[in-house]
Amino acid sequence: MKKKILVTGGCGYIGSHTIIELLQSNRYDVISVDSCVRSTPETMRRVEMITGVNVHNYQVDICQKEDFFHVLEENPDVQGIIHFAAFKAVGESVDEPLMYYRNNLGALANVLEACQKFHVQNLIFSSSCSVYGDVKNLPVSEATPMGKAFCPYAHTKQIGEEMIQNMMVPNPEMNALILRYFNPVGAHPSGLNGELSPDKPNNLIPIIMHVASGVLPQMTVFGTDYDTRDGSCIRDYLHVSDIAVAHLKAMDYLIERKNCQQCEIFNLGSGNGVSVLEMLHAAERIIGQKLNYQLGDRRPGDVPAIYGDSQRANTLLDWHCQYGVDDMIASAWKWEHYLKNEIYDK
């Protein structure tokens, strides 16, 4: 018998890819709760194109507790929640910190209260490598202490993790996994689902794709004087479908009660550091065209290098990345074509 999972933020980038993997496992039924404040209900049409399943999205703001609780009243058989819904733009969080604290922590408080009230025993929370701050010893493992948050967004993830840990104490039946993602990129290998980034994206891969497709005229490499092998910043990029599979394995792990502690933390990264210039050159090779980029100043707030040690997830969740940098770029490029043909040019 399939188990029902509630995915918050299911119309977003990682949420929609996770829904695809949950459905394709044939072990789970899914409902989604997404206000679409940062996405579109159209995502579910793309999920259906890939899986053949029409997932119901409740277009509800999770910060509106009564509306959110109605969803659980209608679905008393929910056995697990995967909580993606949050705001995630670093720069915006610096400009509008209260909006970030209200949305990210208000929504999480309601999700935790719902777990308590509706006896949902399995919770997975989207956290971020940004909780580590500027770490000197690489790779970072789950044992690496949290550093000072470099922006309010990262701070909401640090507080969110502590909120979950504290909720475990009075709720011994509750189980949670905190997943700290590094840099998820790419799109579904079919090219039919990917990230709907804002008009002016902030992240490297969407910017590279927009430059390659002519949506943006040029781009800048932010900093070439870092103490790294080629002077540009190093990050741990991983394919969004690999992250999605990690959530499927994480939910299996919780449902099968393989967790030793009530709340466990896992890094999700590829374990490989890739520089900005290496990423650009790989993109030029895969796409088959020169990219119009200039070498520029450092971007404020960037750490020189961060990459993760994901051995815990490899061993305990039996999760291993299937895709490499070339697949990340090739899938993102397919998705850029889809966006251009189906969305931008319409």
Contacting positions for ligand WQD (CB under 6 A): 88, 90, 128, 130, 183, 202-204, 207, 219-222, 233, 235, 276, 299, 302
CA pair distance 188, 172, nearest whole angstrom: 37
Q: Of the listed pieces 57-65, 131-139, 229-237, 332-340, which binds ligand NAD according to CB under 6 A?
A: 57-65
- Catalytic-role residue among 132, 153, 323, 338: 153
Pick one of 11, 211, 234, 303: the residue that binds ligand NAD (CB under 6 A).
11
Give least dist CB 79 to ligand WQD, A.
27
Q: Is 268 helix (H, G, I), strand (E, B) or coil?
A: strand
Helix, strand, coil percentages, rounded to 5, for the chain: 40, 20, 40
For 229, the token pair is: 């092998």
Minimal distance, residue 85 CB to ligand WQD, in Å: 14
Q: Using the rule CB under 6 A, which residue among 5, 7, 12, 277 binds ligand NAD?
A: 12
Closest CA to 81 of 182, 176, 17: 176
Q: Which is nearer to ligand NAD, 38 or 155 (CB)?
A: 38
Closer residue to ligand WQD (CB): 149 or 245: 149
- Candidate list 5, 7, 31, 38; residue touching ligand NAD; CB under 6 A: 38
Q: Provide the token pair at 171.
A: 């709720």
Q: Which of 15, 186, 206, 269 binds ligand NAD (CB under 6 A)?
A: 15
Residue 334, phi-psi category: left (phi > 0), alpha (psi -120 to 50), beta (remainder) = alpha
Both tokens assigned to 27: 């072990």
Q: What are phi and psi of 308, to 5 degrees?
A: -105, 160
Least Cβ distance, residue 117 to ligand WQD (angstroms):
29
Place of tokens 């493992």: 141
Picked from ligand NAD, ligand WQD, none, the partner binding residue 6 (CB below 5 to 8 A depending on kind) is none
Q: How many CB atoms are located within 10 Å of the residue 101 CB? A: 16
Note if 100 is an active site residue: no
Of ligand NAD, ligand WQD, none, which one does residue 322 interact with (CB within 5 to 8 Å by kind)?
A: none
Beta bridge partner(s), residue 178? 125, 265
Minimum distance between the CB of residue 264 and ligand WQD, rounded to whole angstroms? Answer: 19
Q: Which has the closest alpha carbon to 111: 79, 81, 87?
A: 81
Binding partner at 302 among ligand WQD, ligand NAD, none, C-beta below 5 to 8 Å by kind: ligand WQD
d(CA 258, CA 192): 34
Residue 240 site contact among ligand NAD, ligand WQD, none (CB < 5 to 8 Å, cut-off depends on kind): none
Instruction: Give me the half-sphere count of Cα atoms (radius 13 Å) on the Cβ side of residue 243.
Output: 31
Binding residue (CB under 6 A) for ligand NAD from 86, 140, 176, 280:
86
**Residue 84 interface partner, choices ligand WQD, ligand NAD, none, CB cut-off 5-8 Å depending on type:** ligand NAD
At residue 224, what are phi and psi to the nearest 5 degrees?
-130, 15
Nearest to 246 by CA among 105, 82, 132: 82
221 binds, among ligand NAD, ligand WQD, none (CB under 5 to 8 A by kind): ligand WQD
Q: How many CA atoms lie within 13 A of 339 on its CB side?
A: 20
User: Mind telling me the catalytic residues?
Assistant: 153
Which residues sit at the interface with ligand NAD, rule CB under 6 A? 9, 11-15, 34-39, 61-63, 84-88, 103, 107, 126, 128, 181, 183-184
